[in-house]
Structure formats: C-alpha cells, structure tokens
Structure 1
Amino acid sequence: MDLHSDSGAVAVFSARLARALDRCDRADAPQLLFEAIRSIVPFEFVMSVAYRREGPPDHIGDTFDDPTTRRAMDLYLDGTYILNPVYNAYLAGLKAGVYRLRDLAPDNYFSSDHYSRFKVRQYSDEELGYRTWGWPAGREEVVIAIELPEAELGEISLYRLASRGGFSDQDCAVLSAVEPLVGSVFRAIWRHRPRPARNERRISPLDHLLVDFGKGTLSPRECEVAHMILKGHSGDSIARNLGISITTVKTHRQNLYAKLGLATQQELFSLFIRSLQEKDVLAGDRM
C-alpha cells in the first residue's frame, strides 16, 4: 500500500495504534499493536521478544495458535535464540529499523554440520537454511527492531509465505515509515511489563558455557576478552570495561584467535556453538 494515497488504511492504523497506547499497561496491548501493523502491512503471523545481553529473551507476544508452534516458541526462548541472526546482530550493535531477516545473516551462517544436534533443523527452502523444530515452514521474515532502555532490543517479526512473494520493497518502506511510532508504543508496553530482577533472571546457555570457555588454552585476561566478544562488546567497550587500552584489546584478540586457531569473530562464535554441543547444552533428540 501507499501511505500517501490510502487514507482509509492510515486512519485504521492510527486508531488501532492509539488504542494500543491507551492500553499499554494491559495484557492485550501487544495484540493491539500487532493488529495496527497488520492494517497497513498484512502478515500471516507475528512474534515479538525483547533481547538483553545477560540471559534469555523476554516473550512479548505472538499470534501462534497451534500446540506445535507454541512448543517451537518455547524452544526458541529456552535456547535456540542464540542462533538467531537478530539476536547476534543485537549483540553486535543493531540499531532501530526494518530489516529482512536474510540480510542480517552472514553467508552460509547456518550451513555447518555442528548445528545438526540442536533443536533446529536444516532446510534448503528456508531463507536461513534452518528453522527451530516445529516452526512454520517456508516463510519470509521481516523484522522491526526497536531500541529499548537498559541496552535491550525489541523485535517484532512478521511472517508471510515465501511462495506467495513474501514482503515487497514497498511493504518494507511502509514499515520503515511507521517504525518510529511503532517503536514508541512498543516501549510504552515494555515499560509496563513485569520483568525479573537481574539476580532472578534465568541463566542463559551462553552464561553457563562462558564459565569454562577457553580455560586451559587462553590466559585469564584472554578468556575475559573472548567472553566479552561473544557477548557482543566492541573493542572500545572491552577496553572501558576491563580498564585497558584499545591497543591491548587488539593484542589480546589476536593472541586468543591464534591460540584457538581462528581468524574471525564468526569462527569464535562457531567454536562456542561446538562447545555447547559437546556439553549437550540445547542438544535435542534427532528427528
């Protein structure tokens, strides 16, 4: 649709968005926000979470209505989110905006054999080459990323059948035009949602693994640097947090890559995933 020419759709969108804002402290607010978005860019289903650097994501809402897909959502929240390009882009500093999911994923990101034991399955017809067990097949995904306080990131992911054309460039342009408004309402909803205190939050698979990752191979300082890289810290952030110079950070990074036989940050993350596999973290039954 064209926001400039379809005044009826704009009126419906505005009314629904206003209702979501008015009810931002109510349980139905996420669904009202989803319906506002649907009025200008139709979709088949939607899911929304909020990511944080420590621990698993918070579930904001979705429109899944069958037990298998509900279970897939649970699996995602329990651990397979660590494979998701949105989560990894967030750790790398993703900004607010509208993104096609395939544009956030590096080439061949999920093609390695070491993903085969997780509760994800490789499928050649998926835009990433994999999906969580039970996730609806053959969909294209467009992501609305929303910056939140406390360095968290909101995700609203819309899905359509890829075989029917997925999302057009105009769809993405419309979503980009309303993203600031959607983001404001999302933040209002997020502020009213109960969230566990930091010391009550569930420990993520990443936190479990980082206790031992690199021990026996890396020095204590190199381990710290590796852990912070895996958590998405930039070189400047590592320097600030550890009280060292950026030059020293670069030296530690070069040394730890050499000791682990790696060349890139992606290879470091792949090694991390293999370590999860070896520890049976998130490993599922073969199907």
Structure 2
Amino acid sequence: MSGISLRRQTSRGGDFDDLAAVIAATRETEGRGFGEALVGWLRRHVFFDHSVVFGYRGAARPPMLFETFSPAESHVFVALYQEGPYLLDPFHHAAVERREGFWRMRELAPDRFYASEYFRSYYSQTRLAEEVGFFVPLAGKQALVLSLMRLKTTGPFGTADARLLRDMAPTVIELCRLRWAELPEMSEMEHPASMAKGMQARANEFDRAHIWESLSLTSREMHVVDMVLQGHSTESIARSLGVAPGTIKVHRRNIHRKLGIKSQAELFARFIQIIEKRQ
C-alpha cells in the first residue's frame, strides 16, 4: 500500500512541477516555451500525436501560434490550411462564434462533413482519427483554438480521455489567456498589403459572403453555397434557414447553373480558385 501511495505522490508532484512550468512560461513574450510546456503537461494526462494553436479574427487568414509538426506535416496542417480551407473548418466557425470550452470535432461538424468535398480534398490529407480542441475567446472578436490530434494509427480519443480533457479545459483556457491576451499583429503574409481596405474590414467579420461577390449569386444563394461547402446536407440547410428542403434544392440547381458546374467537387475547386485570387 505504501508503494502505491508513494508512486501517486511522485506522479502528483511531477504534475505540479509541469503545471508550474506552464504558468512560468505564460510570462514569456517570444519563443516556444509556453507551447512546449503546456503540451508537456497535457501529455502527462492524455496521449496525442500532434498539437497546434491557431488564432482567429473572423474570416481573416489565421496566424499559427504554436505547432508540433515536422516541416512536411506543417505543409498540410498549416500552410495548406491557411490558403483557404480554414474557412470551411468547423473549428474556425466555432471559434469566431465565440464558443468556449473543450469540443470534439464530431460535436461541431455538420451532418455531411465527413462526406464533404472539403473533407475529401483537404481534411483527409491530415490522416487524423480525431481532432479535439480548447476554444478560447479573447478580447474583441478574437479567439484562439488549441487543437490536439490523434492519427489513424493511434485511434480516436477514448471516452475517459475526453472527459479528463473537458475537466482540464477551464485551466487550459485561462493559461492560454495569460499567454495570449490578444493575437499578435498580422504579418504581411497573413494580411497582404495588396488587399483593399474595404476587404480588410470585411475579412475581420464572420461573413464569407464577400468571397462570392464576383459571381452573380443572390445573398441567399451565397449562404447556401457556404453551408454546402462546410458539409451541411440539404435538410440541414433547410432547417437552418427555416425553409423547405425543396427550396434549397432549387437554390442548389440555380447555383450550379450560374457557376457552370455539375458537382460539389467543381464547387470546391471554384472556391479554392477564388480564395487564391483574393490572396
């Protein structure tokens, strides 16, 4: 019995030491110390393969604040994500809607997310079994998300792991707020000088309709396009807009006719083309 007690005391002491290191690192202004300390403390409790922290300012390109990826992995998880797919990410939507706490991707994703073109064309490249996150609203309309990821080779988070992470969420959120009271200023790469001032203002709002302004779509059609790309089914869109599914089907046919496309794959390709022109 004494041996078990000693092991528990040693483990608890190490846990407190790691937490103290995280708190100390919140005072740093540069470097990876805080992220590494926080990830180290979390890994003492729950295993995960990767972690990344993104900051969100509405529809603007999200800065990456911390990552644990190799250069090759970072290309997929960070560089490609920042090029435009982030706009369709359920985590991005939840962050700019100012959700707070611990959330699993499966709790936030639309009903057809895993069958969406976004999932097939981008998200499947990550080879993740599951992604979970701590959502941290900041001052103004800013927010950040600390994502923890498990690869398919590892398998998804278990129920006990998710419950423990949810219990840890208040501490993790306050630690992140101590380190990042607000997001760093946008770099030229994240906020190109070539963007018009009007577009800059709109990019800071949770409104992606401006992405489709160059096309002859009505405001309702823009909304439908946005929800389709996120992974919402016709029924889900209809419930959200308070109309009949048949009305949404008519909108989708009109959208395809106006854009000269026949599939969701072509719609996603057009979305990426527009984002690339905007950057």
Measured after TM superposition, the shift of residue 43 of structure 1 is: 1.9
Give SS of 2:181's match: helix
Give SS of 2:30's match: coil
In structure 2, the CA distance between the partners of 1:32 and 1:162, relative to structure 1 (3 Å rule), is same
* Unmatched tracts of structure 2, length 5 or more: 1-7, 196-202, 228-240, 253-262
Q: Deviations over 1:26-82 (max 9, x none)?
A: 2222222222222222322211101121311111110012x3212112001121112
* Unmatched tracts of structure 1, length 5 or more: 121-129, 232-251, 264-270
> What TM-score does the superposition give when structure 2 sets the normalisation length?
0.65
What one-letter code is carried by the residue in structure 2 that aligns with 1:102?
A: R
Measured after TM superposition, the shift of residue 226 of structure 1 is: 5.3
Matched with 2:270 is 278
> What TM-score does the superposition give when structure 1 sets the normalisation length?
0.63
Give SS of 1:51's match: strand
Matched with 1:111 is 115
Aligned residues: 229
Matched with 1:241 is none
- 2:46 pairs with one of 38, 41, 46: 41
What one-letter code is carried by the residue in structure 2 that aligns with 1:170?
A: A
In structure 2, the CA distance between the partners of 1:99 and 1:273, relative to structure 1 (3 Å rule), is farther
Counterpart CA distance in 2 for 1:94 and 1:274 is 31
- 1:18 pairs with one of 17, 23, 44: 23
In structure 2, the CA distance between the partners of 1:273 and 1:184, relative to structure 1 (3 Å rule), is farther
Greater share of helix: 2
- 1:55 pairs with one of 55, 60, 63: 60
Matched with 1:261 is 250
Give SS of 1:149's match: coil
User: Is 1:100 matched with 2:104?
Assistant: yes
Counterpart CA distance in 2 for 1:99 and 1:176 is 8
Matched with 2:213 is 211
Q: Deviations over 1:101-146 (max 9, x none)?
A: 1221122224245876x5x2xxxxxxxxx424xx3x2432221111
Matched with 1:148 is 138
C-alpha RMSD of the superposition: 4.0
Identity over aligned pairs, percent: 22
Contact 2:117 2:265 in 1 (8 A): no
Contact 1:97 1:179 in 2 (8 A): yes
What one-letter code is carried by the residue in structure 2 that aligns with 1:78?
A: E
In structure 2, the CA distance between the partners of 1:114 and 1:7, relative to structure 1 (3 Å rule), is closer
In structure 2, the CA distance between the partners of 1:76 and 1:113, relative to structure 1 (3 Å rule), is closer
Q: Deviations over 1:80-99 (max 9, x none)?
A: 112222113334x3521112
